[in-house]
Amino acid sequence: MIEHSIFLVGPMGAGKSTIGKLLAAELQLPFADSDKVLEDRTGADIPWIFDVEGEAGFRKRESEVLADLCAGPVQVVATGGGIVLLPGNRQLLRKQGLVVYLQASVDQLLERTSKNANRPLLQVADPRARIVELLEERDALYREVADIVCDTDHCTPKQAALMVVERLGAP
């Protein structure tokens, strides 16, 4: 029996949303995607929020969504890639649930994100260099909050979800 929410953290393209849905089904828990919750609340997509409010405005909204999800029922939550940037978010994640860092290689992240224009931080001339930069900035923060680290490079989303279940020791 899972007693705390499970928060999936990691870079864009690590599989948080896809694996999160499968993990939630496997554990018979509700699933929430913090980015989707944020978009539903604002009635605007993330690129638009970035354009209008900048990254700081987006991060403030993201923190509010995280706080609400933490106060909700036990569930599996896919978080945005930058959720770990703010110290208050890292503290909340550690305190409120079990955190799984889904990691992947730069090549995998680039391949998985290359066809998605809904990623404002990758709308640059050299997405590979930007992914490397983001990982250098965030990897230590993901590891700081993580109870479990899972490499998603050489497995299907279903295999990754089952790996998380096994590492959770869930029945």
Mean pLDDT by 10 residues, the chain (171 residues): 90 91 96 95 88 90 95 95 95 94 88 63 71 91 96 91 89 57
The pLDDT value recorded for residue 115 is 63
- How many angstroms separate the CA atoms of 165 and 171, rounded? 8
Instruction: Tell me what pLDDT residue 128 has.
Output: 81
Q: Give me the residue spans of the domains in the chain.
A: 5-165
CATH of 5-165, one of 1.20.1090.10, 3.30.300.30, 3.40.50.300, 3.30.160.340: 3.40.50.300
Say what the pLDDT of residue 157 is: 93
How far CA 76 is from CA of 124, 125, 138, in Å, comes to 31, 34, 21
Q: What is the pTM of this model?
A: 0.91
pLDDT digits (tens, 9 = 90+) for 115-159: 655 555 556 667 788 888 889 999 999 999 999 999 998 889 999
